[in-house]
Structure 1
Amino acid sequence: MSGIIIFALIIINVPIFKFIYKLSFINNDDFKKSVKYSFTPDIVSLFRGEYWKDRFGEAKIGFFIFTCVLVVILEVFILQGIITTFI
């Protein structure tokens, strides 16, 4: 049952995820760079002189993923509370 609820919430929350995306990233290039830095080892970024850009890019993508997951988890708890209250 909770798997269906989670899947439905993910689909329903797409506008919220877009809002969080706009808060986290300036544009699509910023997102692409953050993804690139997430897959680039820190030592490589250090030798390229992009260590702090790498760390900041990883932090931005981590913040985005964390807040999206947090939104869904909070909504699941709220819905389960509502369901158990009325049933």
Structure 2
Amino acid sequence: MGLVIIALIIINIFTVYKFIFKFIFTDFDDFNESLRYSFTPDIISLFRKEYWKDQFGEFKLGFFILICVIVTIVEYGIVNGIIQQIMKLI
């Protein structure tokens, strides 16, 4: 039964992640920029005069990851509850 839950979540999660991605990032270049900023030390961004862009890029990437984790946990709970109810009926 665990494999069924995981398979259903994996099938659905890609569409949900894509929606969240489009909501947070304007395009794939925006995502790459946020990723670059999260690997660049803050002191280097400060010297490049990109400190606030760095902070905002890191925030967007962290927010994207947090929302994806929360959505996955919620979806697991929903799918697990639905399958439990179906198993009770059988």
Q: Is the pair's TM-score, using the shorter chain for normalization, greater than 0.5?
A: yes
Q: How does 1:66-85 map to 2 (within 5 A)?
A: 66-85=66-85
TM-score by length of 2: 0.81
Q: How does 1:1-87 map to 2 (within 5 A)?
A: 2=2, 5-6=5-6, 8-87=8-87
- 2:82 counterpart letter in structure 1: I
Identity of counterpart residues, as a percentage?
54
| Structure 1 residue matching 2:26: 3-state secondary structure | coil
Report if aligned partners of 2:24, 2:64 keep a CA contact under 8 Å in 1.
yes
* Residue ranges of structure 2 left out of the alignment (5+ in a row): none
